[in-house]
Amino acid sequence: MLIHRAKLYGGKSGGFHAAESEEPTKLSFIRIDYAAKINRDGVKGFNDKSSGDAKLFYDCGNSLPPGVEFRIGQRVFFSGKSFSVSGISVLYGRNSPHHIEVTLEEIGI
């Protein structure tokens, strides 16, 4: 069920404003599971904040483009939301990588 597409920034150059100045890597045939939550302050909703975390699944055999390298701090744009890469797990099948699970934290809220 690799039904999603997203844009990955920060793959070619570093720097604070890299996402605004470079061409994105267009990811396709990926899966992103998003979970939104509301953090309550306890004062009748005065300082309530919404935030969201997501998990991106990149299949090493089917996702495009092939051979994408994920790094902490890269930015992912998906469904009108901006995320920062906060964790990366490579899962292996037999002797080669099967898929990559990328933990995303929503930013810009």
Query: What is the number of residues in the chain?
Result: 109
Say what the pLDDT of residue 1 is.
74
The pTM (predicted TM-score) of the whole model is 0.76
Domain 4-107 has CATH 2.60.40: no
| 2 touches 62 (CB < 8 A) | yes
The string of pLDDT tens digits covering residues 38-66 is 555 555 555 555 557 889 999 999 999 99
Mean pLDDT, the chain, as a whole number? 81
Instruction: Give residue-wise pLDDT tens across range 77-106.
Output: 998 889 999 999 999 988 888 999 999 998
Other CB atoms closer than 10 Å to residue 104's CB: what's the count? 25
Cα 45–chain centre separation: 29
Instruction: Quote the pLDDT of residue 35.
Output: 76
The per-residue DSSP string of 13-35 comes to --STTHHHHSPPEEEEEEEEEEE
pLDDT of residue 13: 45
